């Protein structure tokens, strides 16, 4: 992010100030503001206006102090926020004002000539991730402690706090250097090593003494700053030898590095990303003969950094002209993110669908759509050209469009509505997400699938041997959609002669009377089978278990042995344990249990299920949130929490499975939100567990969201508590 211009009303003596950082088509890298109260207040207002994160309640008190009780302050600004690809910029206009002692955001986009208004959340509510705004006051000082775990919701405020509060402290320099050095040398990651070397180079260029100065201070040249990047360096003694001004300058550079590292956790080069750096009178703590070296170090350390600084007259005159003339003309490098892991790549780059073709649209889902594969074979047999797409394709003049929507999620239904607007009467939509009764014709359902529609399947087959289920679970679409259990295909139809891997979509295979015969045929053919919709452990017999052991039951990628079962309630757990023992699982096996939550179970029942699964050898859990089917029951969360919920949550986070499961993290997140919404409380241990390994930089923002939900619950409960006290 870069600042283009900002206008401020309510400065000293009622002045209005306009700061323009543009220089033609480029932006100035260095902007010098006048010294004194006017320059300082301008920096404070810039920091309060463009700092990301929901920290307005923290900014209002220092801003009121700056206004000296007048309460009149209003800003309007234009910023550039970079897109996912290098060189793509979006202009964002915004504004803030003090109203009744509150720092409130208002829309200013229409009052500025911007390319387009930024999408998503505005700057004031944007995550601190990827939006780096730093500000430092006239007397920076190192912190006394720093846990680096984002344990509070105010860490975005700490990036600018030293400018607003003279008593605020920065990052603990020794602890941060020790942490980065340990990661660089003990873990041996190239990213950490490059980061440490670059940081130490910047520090050395400012504070490293020459040989004579080092000798006069009793500091041997071996302890100069250029040696700080070596393995096992003792930072505490070296820091103790620094003089006062060296510590102040170094703590600014180290704090800058820490927050750059936090803002771009997945970027190979955090220093090379865009940033806004505000400095108030650095000539107050950096000697005049080192000030230009300090500026040059910042200029080199942040090649895409935009620096706004207030300086005294003498320091202003010594400012190198080459820095004043520096421009940010080239697009900023984008944040490099790791590609998401996908065990099965279903959709390669799709070919362009020509005009006049029949378009088959897979609205959602990660697996190939079996209904579309059968429909494709039917249409091709009638001489139609067929193309498949996903999401919301834009195809010119299709002869017809058939879309399959599997889920009732808002994103899926939104895609369906946009497809209807685009294609009108040419669109036919089916699938369990929109209509449980609309089905393909019987003659189409009897056809073999068209595997050419999804060439990325390779040697894998997919489909149903049986459909239906004898159960009558209210939360399930199968009883309404499929009805009684029956066989609908054979292995020859699905495998088409040459495939040895099968993704089986059957709803409840073990409930079919001929389940043993079907398993026997799969074992005889030597198939590797992924039971994608799980098996019913309650129907497992000794014969079934023997056949499943002969089969190579696999995960979706077919690279390890996995049995798939479901466990949606706590009925007859000991009987299930006896059924489980029939499998005689070994160290080569993995057993996944799909557990639904958010339907009608309590936290105590969820905990009982998880404890049961933890007691089974080689078992792990896949937590799946309930999604209502069309016309199905809404979630019943009235029993989720009780008087012992806090103890249940304590016990929950003590349960540790051998496998790291992201779906359990989603369950923990859902519990955190529901606990705050229903009970008005935050379970800190559950939050700590949720962010122990992943997305630690987002912990503060999540805590703030929970606190807002808890406060909203308190406001709802306040009248009832007052009435009880009255009675």
Domain for residue 550, yes or no?
yes
Q: Could you tell me if 38 and 185 lie in one domain?
A: yes
Domain identity same for 205 and 305:
yes
Q: Report how many domains make up the chain.
A: 4
Question: What is the average pLDDT across 388-416?
Answer: 89
Kindly state the tokens that stand for 489: 């295909």
Do 257 and 373 belong to one domain? Answer: no
Average pLDDT over residues 254-265: 89
Report yes or no on whether pTM surpasses 0.85.
no
The pLDDT score that the predictor gives to residue 335 is: 35
> Do residue 494 and residue 416 come from a single domain?
no
Would residue 82 count as lying in a domain?
A: yes
Task: Tell me: do 162 and 296 sit in the same domain.
Answer: yes
Average pLDDT of the chain to the nearest whole number: 84
pLDDT in tens, 269-308: 899 998 999 999 999 999 988 999 999 999 999 999 999 9
118 plus 190 within the same structural domain: yes
Same domain, 430 and 471: no
Alpha carbons 443 and 647: distance in angstroms, whole number: 57
In our burial notation (b when 16+ CB lie closer than 10 A, e otherwise), range 20-49 reads ebbeeeebbbbbbbebeeebbbbbbbbbbb
- Strand order across the 358-362 sheet: 386-390, 358-362, 400-404, 427-430
User: Which of 328, 344, 371 finishes a domain?
Assistant: 328
In a domain, 333, yes or no: no
Domain shared by 240 and 297, yes or no: yes
Is residue 347 a part of any domain in this protein?
Answer: no
Q: Are strands 26-28 and 327-328 parallel, antiparallel or unpaired?
A: antiparallel
Six-digit token string for 80? 């550039």
Average of per-residue pLDDT across 114-119 = 40
Residues 167 and 249 in one domain: yes
CA distances from 104 to 49, 59, 66, 233 (A): 10, 10, 16, 47
Is the pLDDT score of 660 beyond 80?
A: no
Same domain, 173 and 219: yes
| CATH number assigned to the domain comprising residue 511 | 3.80.30.20
For 165, residues 6+ apart whose C-beta sits below 8 A from its C-beta are 62, 137
Tens-place pLDDT, residues 318-342: 888 888 888 886 443 333 334 444 4
Whether 472 and 615 map to the same domain: the answer is yes
Domain end marker among 309, 328, 347? 328
Q: Which domain holds residue 539?
A: 458-640
pLDDT of res. 24? 77
Task: Name the domain boundary from 281, 312, 328.
Answer: 328
State both tokens at 334: 């984008």
Residue 211 lies in a domain: yes
| 328, β-bridge pairs | 27
CATH value at residue 425: 3.40.50
pLDDT reported for residue 266 = 75
| Residue 154 counted as domain residue | yes
Q: Could you tell me where the beta strands, DSSP code E, fall in 342-452? A: 358-362, 386-390, 400-404, 427-430
Q: Are residues 54 and 172 in the same domain?
A: yes
Share of the chain above pLDDT 70, in %: 86
Domain assignment present for 493: yes
Q: Which spans in 357-513 are helix H?
A: 370-381, 410-423, 442-445, 478-481, 491-495
pLDDT at 350: 52
- pLDDT tens column, 125-159: 456 667 889 999 999 988 876 666 555 567 778 89
Question: For the residues 450-462, what does the mean pLDDT come to?
Answer: 90
- Torsion sign over Cα 516, 517, 523, 524: positive
> 717 versus 350: which is more confidently predicted?
717
- 274 located within any domain: yes
Give every CB contact of residue 230 below 8 A, 6+ residues apart in sequence: none
């Amino acid at each position: 992010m870069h600042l283009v211009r900002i206008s401020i009303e309510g400065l000293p003596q009622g002045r209005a100030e306009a700061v323009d950082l543009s220089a033609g088509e480029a932006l100035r890298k260095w902007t010098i503001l006048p010294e004194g109260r006017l320059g300082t207040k301008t920096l404070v207002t810039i920091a309060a206006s463009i700092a990301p994160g929901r920290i307005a309640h923290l900014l209002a008190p220092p801003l009121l102090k700056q206004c000296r009780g007048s309460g009149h302050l209003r800003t309007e600004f234009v910023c550039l926020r970079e897109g996912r690809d290098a060189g793509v910029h979006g202009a964002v206009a915004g504004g803030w004002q003090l109203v009744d002692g509150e720092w409130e955001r208002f829309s200013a986009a229409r009052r500025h000539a911007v390319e387009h208004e930024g999408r998503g959340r505005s700057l004031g509510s944007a995550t601190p991730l990827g939006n780096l705004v730093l500000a430092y006051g006239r007397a920076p000082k190192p912190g006394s402690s720093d846990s680096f775990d984002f344990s509070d919701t105010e860490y975005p405020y700490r990036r600018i706090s030293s400018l607003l509060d003279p008593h605020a402290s920065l990052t603990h320099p020794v602890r941060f250097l020790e942490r980065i050095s340990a990661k660089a040398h003990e873990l041996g990651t190239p990213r950490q090593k490059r980061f440490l070397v670059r940081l130490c180079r910047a520090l050395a260029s400012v504070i490293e003494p020459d040989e004579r100065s080092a000798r006069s201070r009793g500091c041997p040249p071996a302890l100069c700053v250029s040696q700080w990047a070596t393995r096992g360096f003792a930072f505490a003694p070296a820091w103790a030898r620094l003089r006062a001004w060296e510590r102040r300058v170094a703590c600014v550079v180290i704090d800058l590095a820490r927050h750059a590292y936090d803002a771009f956790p997945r970027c190979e080069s955090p220093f090379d990303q865009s940033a806004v750096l505000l400095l108030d009178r650095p000539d107050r703590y950096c000697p005049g003969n080192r000030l230009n070296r300090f500026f040059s170090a910042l200029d080199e350390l942040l090649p895409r950094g935009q620096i706004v600084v207030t300086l005294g007259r003498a320091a202003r005159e010594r400012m190198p002209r080459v820095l004043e003339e520096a421009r940010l003309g080239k697009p900023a490098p984008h944040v490099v993110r790791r590609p998401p892991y996908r065990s099965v790549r279903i959709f390669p780059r799709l070919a362009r669908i020509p005009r006049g073709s029949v378009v088959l649209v897979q609205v959602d889902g990660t697996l190939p759509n079996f209904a579309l594969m059968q429909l494709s074979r039917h249409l091709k047999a009638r001489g139609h050209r067929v193309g498949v797409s996903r999401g919301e394709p834009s195809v010119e003049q299709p002869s017809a469009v058939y879309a399959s929507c599997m889920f009732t999620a808002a994103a899926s239904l939104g895609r369906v509505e946009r497809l209807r607007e685009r294609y009108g009467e040419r669109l036919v939509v089916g699938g369990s997400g929109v209509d449980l009764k609309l089905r393909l014709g019987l003659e189409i359902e009897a056809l073999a699938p068209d595997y050419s529609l999804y060439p990325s399947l390779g040697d894998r087959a997919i489909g149903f041997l049986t459909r239906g289920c004898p159960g009558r679970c209210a939360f399930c679409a199968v009883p309404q959609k499929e009805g009684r259990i029956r066989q609908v295909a054979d292995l020859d139809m699905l495998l088409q002669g040459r495939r040895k891997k099968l993704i089986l979509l059957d709803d409840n295979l073990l409930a079919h009377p001929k389940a043993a015969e079907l398993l026997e045929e799969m074992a005889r053919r030597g198939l590797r089978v992924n039971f994608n919709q799980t098996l019913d452990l309650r129907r497992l017999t000794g014969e079934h278990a023997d056949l499943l052991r002969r089969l190579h039951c696999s995960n979706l990628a077919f690279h390890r042995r996995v049995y798939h079962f479901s466990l949606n309630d706590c009925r007859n757990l000991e009987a299930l344990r006896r059924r489980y023992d029939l499998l005689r699982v070994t160290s080569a096996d993995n057993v996944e249990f799909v557990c639904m939550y958010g339907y009608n179970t309590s936290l105590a029942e969820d905990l009982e299920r998880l404890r049961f699964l933890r007691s089974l050898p080689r078992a792990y859990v896949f937590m799946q949130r309930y999604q209502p089917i069309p016309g199905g029951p809404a979630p019943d969360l009235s029993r989720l929490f009780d008087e012992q919920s806090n103890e249940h949550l304590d016990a929950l986070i003590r349960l540790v499975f051998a496998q790291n499961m992201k779906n359990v993290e989603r369950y923990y997140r859902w519990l955190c939100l529901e606990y705050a919404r229903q009970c008005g409380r935050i379970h800190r241990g559950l939050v700590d567990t949720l962010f122990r390994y992943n997305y630690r930089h987002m912990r503060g923002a999540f805590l703030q969201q929970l606190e807002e939900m808890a406060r909203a619950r308190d406001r709802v409960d306040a009248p009832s508590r007052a009435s009880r006290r009255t009675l």
